[in-house]
Structure 1
Amino acid sequence: MLSAHHLLRLVIGLVGSLMILAGSVVGGWLAPGSGLWDVELMAVLRNSRGAVYVAAMLVVGGVLLLMFAWLSLGLSLRRRDGQAAAAGPLRRVVTAICVWTAPLLFALPLFSRDSYAYVGQGRLLASGLDPYAHVMAELPNWYETGVDYKWSTTVTPYGPVFVWLQNIVVRATDSLPLEVTLFATRLVAVGGLALLIYYAWRIARLRGYDEAAVVWAVGASPLVLMDFVVSAHNDALMIGLIVAGTYHALRGRPLLAAVLVGLAIGVKPIAVVALPVIGIIWAGRRIRSSREAGVDTAATPSAPKPFGWPRLIACWAAVSAVAVGGVVAFGVGIGSGLGWAIGLGTPLELGSFYSPSRILSLAARDLANGAGLDGALAHRVVVWAFLAAGCAIVAFLVTVKRRADPLWLLVGSFAAIALCAPLLHPWYALWVLSLLGVAGIRRVWQLRVLVYATAFFAMVGIYGEQLDMIDRIRADPGIPTLYGWVGVIGSLVLLATFELALRRARRRMPASTPPEVPMLATLPARASATGPIRPADAPVSASSTPSP
């Protein structure tokens, strides 16, 4: 039975989701050719400035309520007197995810209109055109289907697996309204989120982490619901496949792991960053089969096997052959060849105002122009320097630091790529935050990174050009400023409250509790005086070294 506090938490989050759903009706992206324009009430509301103002406040208010409910749920998982939270914490977290997600499945696209581009890319392949050689402007009535004009002359940056999936979605819903196609596209992303949550939970069990805390971190945050559900970004499927592959690698199934990561590369080529870590796990795996161990479990720990460069290079070659070779074969099979490899590139002219690369490259351009030099060249040099630095950090992690915990190698590698790129969307940040949750929140600073980054990128999502209402109220700039400030101030209040609760929780911990252990338990309740009791198939990574 749910406690009164948890029921209230569920209701608050549900109200937040319903507010976002209601706000999307007026403020969400609606294709010019959508049949919903024929509904008189819809047309009236979307052309009413007052209704647009209300929709904006509903969206920002809904995000804040979800943020409150998520933080409250996390606080409820804290350890009390050195013990785990009350019975059923995992059930509470999963219930919250399902309840908060359900209304958002039916929202019009918010925070990004990329789902319309996904449909357009599926239409290209369904029309017999190579999405890596043709653009959506070549399709009849492409603008009527809601595709952003910025995509009209851009070839597909996604992998052949995702384009093929979208081709299936388009073909299956061809005779149905566009909103049904968008709903099916959203289900693909939600399927990726479910895959992420499931395998994050499996890794938590494998390593003896607090399962509820891990699932809370990867599946319940407002940023996840905004970008993986409402916006339906295919990053959810990519990260879900990477985490699934990592789990199977940890269990001593490197070829299956390579296949899963290969599928992730087939969704977004940037997933290739995970391949070296899969090879490291294979090279340093320390399990033996149940037949060798003489037990019934699928795998049991054994002494670590030292591995040198020849073994590591051989494992890297094997996983690369399986993963990349599989994607190449798949691309050839659907007639797109190697065009998907362009997804590895980063547009140099685009950027996010908060990206370090963007900030410094624009500063270098202005300084160079002021000095009478080539500002455009200075801009490109800084951008490429950051990209090179990101690649160098990844190379350092998978070579010099290859014996560290592979989960943290994944976190570090994706963080380096994301932070060094000029373009850093909120859904890119979820690469890192999702993997951070999977790796286990063991220290207070890690928890703060998760919470503060979630709040920051959630605010980025609701303020700016991500809502289909900015152009309609641009004549009155005070309105976007108003709801933007409501979001910022509301987030700051929630974060301050969270920080106070965190400090109180740490003060209430018994003296025997290590000070670095956060309020979210990362160890199971069945711990002995010498440490947690791990299951028989516990950590099978190259190393169980905790994060720094």
Structure 2
Amino acid sequence: GGVVGLRPPTRDPRVWAAWTASGIAAMGLLALGGELLGVGLGWISALSSPVSVVSWFMPFGIAAGAFGPLVEALGGPGGAVEGGIKTAGILLGFAGAAWCILTTRTLSGEARLALAFACIVAMSPVVYPWYGLWVLVILAVVGIADGAAMSLAVSATVFLVGVNLLEPMAVVHPVASGWPRMLVVSVAVVGILGVLAPGLQGLAGTDPFRALRAPRHQFSAVRQPPA
């Protein structure tokens, strides 16, 4: 997907041949790696896990977790409803990703890749928090316009980092309780304050996210060659 996303849509058969060759080569490397590790390709069946588990912070995961049990309680096919909602989210994510890659609108290759990845992550019923952080890394390369887009990116970063810290500590284990938990939280707070410190001078009337809102390229702009 990343290789395809870095090229605009075209009818040139040479480009489509290159895309096809890249896909075949990638699958060949996956198969070779699986054989060398002794796991084969059985892990591919695990890709069906999005319809058997759920992430509490994803929109389609929330909908499936709410409507599935409700239909079940009313005597209906709750499992089928839950699975249908999750599958619909996955299909919508792939459809959105395909549109982002193949649309003829003026978007740079990096922007297409970022939007396609964001569609798949946002519509999936189960993801790990760092999937969203990967999207933010690509968006940082593309450039995010100041204002609402930057505020959304910063808010999403804080939320996903918080979830990523919370989920491992939810496991019943000595390391996930007592002083180790407090140490992890303290390091996270100190780290966040360290990042935001340049924007915290004079707390009254100061935007704490100012240091993260430097002017950037417009998101939809095509990257211009250096002068």
Task: State the TM-score, normalizing by the size of structure 1.
Answer: 0.33
Q: Do residues 426 (structure 1) and 129 (structure 2) align? A: yes
Q: Output one character per residue of 1:255-292: Cα deviation in whole Å (capped at 9) or x when no partner.
A: xxxxxxxxxxxxxxxxxx324214x25xx7xxxxxxxx
Distance 2:34 2:105 in 1: 31
Q: Output one character per residue of 1:401-454: Cα deviation in whole Å (capped at 9) or x when no partner.
A: 475211111111111111112223221111211111111223323322221111
Q: CA deviation at 1:368?
A: 1.0
Q: Structure 2 residue aligned with 1:353, among 51, 56, 69?
A: 56
Contact 1:361 1:380 in 2 (8 A): yes
Q: Do residues 375 (structure 1) and 78 (structure 2) align? A: yes
Q: Structure 2 residue aligned with 1:520, among 214, 217, 225?
A: 214
Runs of 5+ unmatched residues, structure 1:
1-272, 285-306, 506-517, 524-531, 537-548
1:386 is matched with: 89
Distance 2:214 2:119 in 1: 26
> Residues 231-270 of structure 1 correspond to what in structure 2 (within 5 A)?
none
CA change 1:366–1:468 in 2 (3 A) is: closer
Q: Output one character per residue of 1:339-391: Cα deviation in whole Å (capped at 9) or x when no partner.
A: 34335443423222111111100121133123320111111110101011111
Q: Output one character per residue of 1:214-270: Cα deviation in whole Å (capped at 9) or x when no partner.
A: xxxxxxxxxxxxxxxxxxxxxxxxxxxxxxxxxxxxxxxxxxxxxxxxxxxxxxxxx
Matched residue of 1:442: which SS? coil
- Higher mean C-alpha displacement, 390-399 vs 435-444: 435-444
1:40 is matched with: none
Contact 2:60 2:86 in 1 (8 A): yes
Q: Do residues 276 (structure 1) and 4 (structure 2) align? A: yes
Code of the residue aligned with 2:226 in structure 1: it is P
Q: Structure 1 residue aligned with 2:226, among 535, 539, 543?
A: 535
2:20 is matched with: 317
1:446 is matched with: 149
Provide the alpha-carbon RMSD of the alignment. Answer: 4.0
Q: Do residues 366 (structure 1) and 57 (structure 2) align? A: no
Matched residue of 1:327: which SS? helix
Contact 2:100 2:112 in 1 (8 A): yes
> Residues 174-323 of structure 1 correspond to what in structure 2 (within 5 A)?
273-278=1-6, 280=7, 307-308=10-11, 310-323=13-26
Distance 1:402 1:340 in 2: 37
CA change 1:423–1:455 in 2 (3 A) is: same
Contact 2:68 2:79 in 1 (8 A): yes
CA change 1:472–1:407 in 2 (3 A) is: same
Task: State the TM-score, normalizing by the size of structure 2.
Answer: 0.72
2:220 is matched with: none
Q: Do residues 501 (structure 1) and 204 (structure 2) align? A: no
Distance 1:437 1:327 in 2: 29
CA change 1:370–1:333 in 2 (3 A) is: closer
Q: Output one character per residue of 1:57-96: Cα deviation in whole Å (capped at 9) or x when no partner.
A: xxxxxxxxxxxxxxxxxxxxxxxxxxxxxxxxxxxxxxxx
Code of the residue aligned with 2:214 in structure 1: it is L
Distance 2:38 2:143 in 1: 41
Distance 2:104 2:153 in 1: 23
Contact 1:441 1:520 in 2 (8 A): no
Aligned length in residues: 209
Q: Which has the higher Rg, Structure 1 or Structure 2?
A: 1
Residue identity over aligned pairs, in percent, reads 26
Code of the residue aligned with 1:276 in structure 2: it is V
Q: CA deviation at 1:319?
A: 1.6
Q: CA deviation at 1:311?
A: 4.3
Code of the residue aligned with 1:342 in structure 2: it is S
2:100 is matched with: 397
Matched residue of 1:358: which SS? helix
CA change 1:277–1:402 in 2 (3 A) is: farther
Q: CA deviation at 1:324?
A: 2.1
Distance 1:443 1:311 in 2: 39
CA change 1:458–1:318 in 2 (3 A) is: same
